[in-house]
Amino acid sequence: MHNHINTGFRPFEVISPATTANLGPGFDCLGMALDLWNRLEVIPVPAQPPSTGVGAGLVPAQTGGDLVHITGEGAGVLATDATNLTVRSMLFLFDEAGLEMPSLRLRCHNVIPLSRGMGSSAAAIAGGLVAANHLCGNPYSGNELLEMAATIEGHPDNVAAAVLGGLQLVVSDTSAQPEVGAGLVPALADAGEPPPSPSPSTDVGAGLVPAHPGAESAPQTQLYTAPIPVPEEIQAVLFIPDARIATADARAVLPGQVTMADAVFNMGRAALLVAGMALDRPEYLDVATQDKLHQPYRQPLLPAIKLLFAAARNAGALGVFLSGSGSTVLALTRGREMTIAYEMFEAARLTGTSGRLEITRPTTRGAHVVN
């Protein structure tokens, strides 16, 4: 049975970053937060008399009318009732905590495009979980929020970056039952705090910890995360096509098996990408962002990919890749951002691909309360 929490909270805001996943070869295991933010306002509404009928325990707006008001991306498209992904994420955490969500309404100010490979769903989930955690008094750590987010999302790469910030390596392991008494201490900061910056002498991957350490139960999925430092001067130039690619469609075109040669190709480049970032070796990134496991199969969904990649590289990009499952193409840069953006836009125009440009940078912050 749910307990009640104090419903007299003050309005507050949570911001959640856009994210890019895969970064070329790191399929389903690399995610990076970008300095582009959705904003969630959480507003209390007067409590209603207790009800024992249908809908008891739900906030008033869930039983009729709009619980969520959406502006920007997704307005008129995304659900505004209890099926909204942010609301479902909040309810998930309250259920985990054994508490009843107080009466409230949400205002979502969205700038992250939908179905463009920029983590709009991860931002919605991370924002909802951070908001709910705040209302409960922040009982859950960042790693625990990540575990919930991955359960809701179904894969952890985007949500790891959305919750924890920065560039995150995340691995799911279902192969073994956790050791009894493992008791490892999470090395990552709570959600909303920057991940710790490794000292120059820290090895890549130091502090690798289970996202939910010390669990003692039947075999289950363990998440292991490690923050990867990103050189401060790195920026990101994004070409965001008007055409959407649904994640389900992008996954449907992938083969069930790949060759040993292609697997080795990607393993080496994923490792090189981590080293290139952590050691500040930008000259690695052109080769390190190459991929043979998913981008070649997704090219028919966005025929301009090869030209966009070539335009970015020829203009001086450090590396370029399909952001998540697409349709956005992201170029990593260190200078020449305007030139690279122009050349990418021109390549898109020549192929009849409409879209827009965004120039931003990685961020070390994940979703967090701002007031």
Decide if 198 is inside a domain: no
Quick: pLDDT tens for 175-213: 755 443 333 333 333 333 333 333 333 343 444 444 444
- Say which CATH number the domain at 12 has: 3.30.230.10
Asked whether residue 162 falls in the same domain as residue 239, the answer is no
Decide if 219 is inside a domain: no
Quick: pLDDT tens for 302-344: 999 999 999 999 999 999 999 999 899 999 999 999 999 999 9
Q: Which domain holds residue 100?
A: 3-167+363-369
Task: Kindly report the average pLDDT of the chain as a whole number.
Answer: 86
Helices (H) and strands (E) in the chain, counts: 10, 14
Decide if 112 is inside a domain: yes
Asked whether residue 45 falls in the same domain as residue 134, the answer is yes
- Say which CATH number the domain at 272 has: 3.30.70.890
Asked whether residue 137 falls in the same domain as residue 27, the answer is yes
Decide if 185 is inside a domain: no
Quick: pLDDT tens for 102-134: 999 999 999 999 999 999 999 999 999 999 999
Tally Cβ neighbours within 10 Å of residue 333: 27
Q: CA angle, corner 224, sides to 124 and 116, nearest 5?
A: 35
3-state secondary structure of 311: helix
Predicted structure pTM score: 0.84
Cis bond leading into 327, ω under 30°? yes
Asked whether the predicted pLDDT for residue 27 surpasses 50, the reply is yes
Decide if 210 is inside a domain: no
Decide if 328 is inside a domain: yes
Asked whether residue 125 falls in the same domain as residue 255, the answer is no
Asked whether residue 157 falls in the same domain as residue 265, the answer is no
